Each structure stands twice: as C-alpha cells, then as structure tokens.
Amino acid sequence: MTEDRKQLLDWLHNEKDEIIELLRALLRERSPNPPGDTRSTADVVTRYLSGQGLDHRIVSPHPEMPNIIANFQAARPGRHLVLNGHMDVFPLAPGNAGWSKDPWGAEIVDGKIYGRGASDMKPGTTASLITYVLLSRLRDKLHGQLTLTCVSDEETFGPWGARYLMEHHPEVHGDCLLNGEPSGPESIRFGERGPLWIEFTVRTRGAHGAYVHATGSATKIAMNLAMALEELTDIEGRVSDNVQRAIDLGRPTMDRMMGKGAGDLVSKVTLNIGLMNGGDKVNMIPSHCTFTADLRLPVGMGKADLLPKIAEITGRYPEATWREIGGDEPSWCDPDHEMVGIIQNNVTAFGRPKPTPIVSIGGTDARLWRHNNVPAYVYGPYPHGMGSHDEHVDIEEFLHVVRTHVLSAYDYLSRPDAVRPVNREA
C-alpha cells in the first residue's frame, strides 16, 4: 500500500464520526422535490466546504434550487474526474404515512440511519463531498483535476440541476464521472434504461348509459388501446458484444438486488399505464378518456425506434390521439472501462464480493454525462426504503461506499495519463 493510500485510510478512520454527522446534517434538512427547495441543504454543503478552506461557487438558475461546483487542479497534468450527487429527495406521503421514525430526524437505530434521502441519495452526495475534501489535501501528488457537483432538481428530471450545468457549464463535463446513487454494493451501473412518457386521449360522442348502440365508449377504447400497447414489450435493444455480455452476466445480480425478474426486463421495452381518467357518471357512456404510459427503453435503442410503432398502434383507433410528454434516451458506456476495474479492485481489497457491471432499471443524472460521451459509473448503497417509508442506510455500508469513492478517485487521478480518453456509446 502506498503512503498516500494509507494516509487516506487514516483520515477516513480518524474522521469517521465527522463523516457520519455530515450525512445526518444533510438528512435533517428538508428538500423534497416537488417542490424542490434545496437551499438549506446547500447551506450545509457550502458551510462544510468553507470549513475545510475550499473554494466553491453557486450556480442557481432557479432561486430555490442552487447547484454547487468546486474544482481543483492537481500539480501535474492528467485526466479530469467529476463527482456528482443531488440534494433533493422524494416527497413524503401525506401525514408521513408508514414511517416509524421521524423522516427528518436522522435517527440512528441498530446501526442504521433513518430519514428521507438516507438511500437516495444523501449518502452518495456525502461520499462525493468527502472524496473531494480528502483528495484536495493530496492535490500536489495527483494528476489532472477533480470537480465536485452537488445539484438540485434530480428527482423530477427538471431543467434546473445537472441538466442546466451540462448545457451551460461545459467545465463540468470531464473525462469520467463517479456517482453514488443507490445501486447496491454488489453492482456498478454503467448504463440505464430511458423513460418515455406518452399521453393518450380518446374522444367519442358519448351518450346515456343505456344507449350503448349510439356511440363508442372512450374508456373501453382507451383500455383496448392500452392493452394493444403491450406489443411494444416484445421489442429489444441491439448493443455491441461487450455490452451484451455485461448485461447477460449482470442479470443474476439484478435479480438479487431488485427482485426476481429484473434481469429479464433490462433488455426489453417495459410498459406501465400510470394514470387513467375518463367519464363523468356511472350511467353515462364516457365521451373522453385520457391515460398516460410510462415506457422504459432498453439500451441499444432510442425513441426514434419506438415512436413509429406507437403511432401505428394508436392509428388503429381513429378516436385516439397521442403526444410525448417527457422522458429521456437510454444511456450506456463501456462496461470494461478503467474506472470499473478500479472500483472492483478497491471493493474486493476489503473482503467484499466483486461488484458486477449492470444496466439500471431506474434513472440518474449520470445519463447526462453519458449523453455527452463521458463514461459515467454509479456505485452506492442499497436502496432501502427508497421512495417509500422508513428509508435508511446501514452505517458500515455507507462508510464502505465513502471509502470506495475516495480510493477509486485517488487511483484514477494518481496515474500519469494526460491523454483524454475517447468514449463512444457502444
């Protein structure tokens, strides 16, 4: 073990209590999105950076959704690593339904920290902060540069967070991204499926409920259309051999972490009818019905591959129209990238199982870097209670994620490789 790595591990050990308290301080600040106000959480971040004597700046295109950027140049030329985490969290159910702990209390019970954001993703954001701070102390021994981005507006795919930075601040693009979204320490996410949200509207004349001969029912037509859309789930993506190999090898890991069947879904289009609203009264034939479909596109395909098929299926129902209301393209990068091996080596060095590269079912801001041809990898804790109640993180697992991020970022920036790598979506 090099002297620098030993120093990093000593700092992590000696400052363990401070690291835990930083996470708890972030969890106590309320930042549900919607509405997305992260100002108090951002204050914790900026106070911590200032207390460590580190410069930073705030980019706030929305007054209630600040983004924090910090950067340092190492002593020698090299590559540019970007750290990314978000400060907003899922909202709570009315009355905090289902919670047995204060969702804003950051309580420690049986070695676990409870609170909204305790898996998604304030532990990962804390890992980014600690990584930036500890490596800044070794900047004279590193190559290249390190950038920290703590962003808002991730939970709603909004325009005020990482998307804004990627569009207006190219200095945060970098050569590689490390992100701590909840993924489970058995996996490294190198890609994610793309959401495509479609709204369908069906209109008919409508009539008295007894006059079924007079008009079609908008709700019945909508239900038939929704069932016809199941044809889309037979479509699979096409990827290069190394990506397909990684997907196939990752299926058992996905089943363990996300439930049996998750591994089978990763290569296929999936369909969820999220909302359906139609009719006015039980004894009236509905003249209108609207429903929304959440389609998830696998890696190896794009919206342009699916939209014509949606148009063809909808065209079978003359009373129906449709429009795209949101989403993003799938994203993926090289599952054999250097950063994957670095993370795996650091994880196994501490006696944990070698994490498997997988494609995520859910979405993260990492996709924005991949869309800009920057390799982006996610390594974080298990998603205990994510988007649900009694969200929590195991303290030892959290500290493991922090340690893995610190050492992996160090390994990436300690190698004298000043050549910017060229990444292509495989």
Per-residue pLDDT at 156: 84
27 CB contacts (<8 Å, ≥6 apart)? 104, 106, 113, 115, 116, 117, 118, 122
Q: What phi and psi, each to the nearest 5 degrees, are found at residue 119?
A: -115, -40
In sequence order, what are the beta bridge partners of 356? 187
User: Measured at the alpha carbon of residue 151, what is the angle toward residues 145 and 155, in degrees to the nearest 5?
Assistant: 140
pLDDT in tens, 315-346: 999 999 999 998 889 999 999 999 999 999 99
Identify the H or E element spanning 342: helix 338-349
In sequence order, what are the beta bridge partners of 277? 290
Distance CA 383, CA 120 (A): 7
Per-residue pLDDT at 417: 65
User: Measured at the alpha carbon of residue 356, what is the angle toward residues 350 and 358, in degrees to the nearest 5?
Assistant: 145
User: Taking Cα atoms as reference points, which of 426, 411, 237 lies closest to residue 335?
Assistant: 426
Q: What phi and psi, each to the nearest 5 degrees, are found at residue 98?
A: 90, -15
Domains, in order of start, for the chain:
3-192+330-413 (3.40.630.10), 194-240+269-327 (3.30.70.360)
Q: Is-above-0.85 flag for pTM?
A: yes
Identify the H or E element spanning 127: helix 122-136
User: Taking Cα atoms as reference points, which of 100, 11, 101, 91 lies closest to residue 410?
Assistant: 11
User: Taking Cα atoms as reference points, which of 170, 168, 165 lies closest to residue 151?
Assistant: 165
Distance CA 413, CA 75 (A): 11
Alpha helices per DSSP H over 139-298: 162-168, 218-228, 241-258, 262-265
Per-residue pLDDT at 423: 43
With a cut of 70, which residues of the chain have pLDDT below it? 417-426
246, 335 contact by CB (below 8 A): yes
If DSSP codes are grouped into helix, strand and coil, which group holds residue 22?
helix
400 CB contacts (<8 Å, ≥6 apart)? 185, 350, 352
User: Taking Cα atoms as reference points, which of 155, 152, 32, 183 lies closest to residue 104?
Assistant: 32
Per-residue pLDDT at 421: 47
155 CB contacts (<8 Å, ≥6 apart)? 33, 36, 86, 88, 89, 90
Per-residue pLDDT at 58: 98
Per-residue pLDDT at 422: 43
Per-residue pLDDT at 133: 98
245 CB contacts (<8 Å, ≥6 apart)? none
